Copies of this chain bind each other. A is one copy, B any other.
Amino acid sequence: MATINDVARAAGVSPSTVSYVLSGRRPISAQTRERVQAAIAELGFHPHAGARALASSRTNVLALVVPLRTDVNVPVIMQFATAVVTASRTHNHDVLLLTKDEGTAGLERVAHSTMVDALIVMDVERDDVRLQALRKLKQPSVLIGLPEDPAGIACVDLDFEAAAAQALRHLAWHGHRKIALVGPSPAVYKRGTTYAERFLTGFTDASAALDLETMTHPCEPDREGVRACLADIDAQLPGVTALVVHNEEALRMVLEEVQAGGRRVPADISVVAICPRDVALNMPLPLTSVDIPAHDVGGLAVETAMRLLDGRPIEPVRLLPPTLVERESTARPAG
């Protein structure tokens, strides 16, 4: 492998000049720059990442911590991950993939050994034990999610409260008054992933503000759970005309069970889903949905990390406004 010295020799300049051509950190005459670039191309030179990290204390690598549990929504995680990788590349960074099961130790390991410039952490819980460790690192971190006490750590996420409000406003505008929330599984609430709570809060608040008759119900994403959930809803809120479904795994089964019960969507009952666009589109019926913008959130997380690294100002907590797209699963209530 060619080194910077080889390039320097080939171009008839000093190694530092080659370095400056590469980094652009000082002016170089056009003529010199060209000779250097020609030599770089000629020799197929790529700077040695380790040497660079050692000399500059910059790795150009971001850590991304993903949950590896399979009870989480895998496709959404994958969307976040690819968004983070793609965005990182536009900022000339690579991504080191860590799994949540390594816990605090994993974060400290990569940070202390200077493998990464910053960390992006997914699946953050309300009172996540990793937060205190993150605060002590010399590298900045960005959370995808919102813990109870985000002090000192940047957070980005969808504004789930606003998402719930938007779903209800849409249904209310269509004339619905009796609306039920099919929520995530009890395990999600118990784990303390706050997006579920935030959605619930938004739902309850908006329900009061709009003077609606609503109820909420967690839902185990299997056939039985869905049946039980829908039965409870019918029992507790007879005459319900609309469902807000915040449970991607259960979504398809909810639609099937509603239909199996003899009700048509949207003629007999309207449905608003909270899910990524492509999920909403790949249902038997294109669903009116509030998008989970994994791509935007991932990109914003990277952008935030970059600002932190450059010492540029950031918003400590950035909640993206939701977007509702009306498709074919919502209509005015019958009668």
Task: Say yes or no: A50 contacts B44, CB within 8 Å.
Answer: no
Interface assignment of A212: CB less than 8 Å from any CB of chain B: no
Q: How far is the CB of A293 from chain B (nearest CB, A)?
A: 15
A130 at the binding interface (Cβ < 8 Å):
no
For chain A, the bracket of interface size reads: 35 or more
Closest to A69 in B: B82
| In the assembled complex, A59 has its CB within 8 A of some CB on chain B | yes
Chain B residues positioned under 8 Å from A53 (CB to CB): 48-50, 53
Residues in B with CB closer than 8 Å to A77 are: 78
Whether A47 contacts B113 in the complex (CB less than 8 A), given A74-B78, A97-B97, A138-B1, comes out as yes
Q: Which residues of B contact A74 (CB under 8 A)?
A: 74-75, 78
Inside 8 A of A115's CB, which chain B residues have their CB?
Answer: 49, 61, 94
Contact of A97 among B51, B75, B81 (CB under 8 A): B81
14 contacts between A and B (CB under 8 A): A44-B112, A46-B113, A48-B53, A50-B50, A50-B54, A53-B53, A54-B54, A61-B115, A70-B75, A75-B75, A77-B78, A78-B78, A85-B98, A252-B252
Known A50-B53, A97-B97; further 12 A-B contacts with Cβ < 8 A: A46-B113, A47-B113, A48-B113, A50-B54, A50-B59, A70-B79, A74-B78, A86-B101, A89-B102, A94-B96, A94-B98, A252-B252
